[in-house]
A and B are shown apart, each in its own frame.
Chain A
């Protein structure tokens, strides 16, 4: 059973607000990822990290930022939320760059 947790599960927030989506894993994985996914659509990698103090932008340009100060924690922040940020955000981790384990996701709605 994968031990990776995302909070909140659902978030409805007004335009212009700052938000942080939390992601934690207890498996000691060095590699962590954030994906953005619209309902029923493909997964888009927006950020990844190969270890503490290492973060990279993914394939899809995103206005969000991430940090990796501790191995187990990989939060994603939006400084000023907009309706175009409405989506599902999925966090994942892996021991190497193969099998990834996902959290349950955060469904974000910006009104």
Chain B
């Protein structure tokens, strides 16, 4: 079935550093979604990408939809302690005949103040 490979699995950085993470697949995706999950909470949608090559920003976050439609990148600039959490990529795919969201395994981010 369709899979999303997310890397790195975890990151430990100093406050103020920039962060980059990515998500790749052997299948083509027509939409890429990036979520953040704070500890003990549900995931929250950060950025949605709908077009190959699209670059979208949300404050200090920037995400890109890869031109091959098989990858996406999320960058966080000037990290702050509240950036701590797990970042998931997701995209709509198929399981049998049913369309549903496919999820990456997440990138866990820790920020040292």
> Which secondary structure dominates where chain B touches chain A?
strand
Residues of B75-113 at the interface with A, using a CB-CB cut-off of 8 Å, are 86, 88, 90, 92, 95, 98-101, 103-106, 108
Question: Which A residue sits closest to B96, measured CB to CB?
Answer: A56
Contact A104 B42 (CB under 8 A): yes
Q: Indicate if A43 sits at the interface (CB-CB under 8 A).
A: yes
Q: Indicate if B5 sits at the interface (CB-CB under 8 A).
A: no
Q: How large is the interface on A (under 10, 10 to 19, 20 to 34, 35 or more residues)?
A: 20 to 34
Given A97-B99, A98-B33, check contact A92 B42 (CB 8 Å): yes
Contact B40 A98 (CB under 8 A): no
How far is A45 from B1 in the complex, measured between Cα atoms in Å? 14
Contact A102 B44 (CB under 8 A): yes
Contact B103 A98 (CB under 8 A): no
6 CB contacts below 8 A, A to B, read: A43-B103, A48-B100, A97-B100, A100-B101, A102-B43, A103-B42
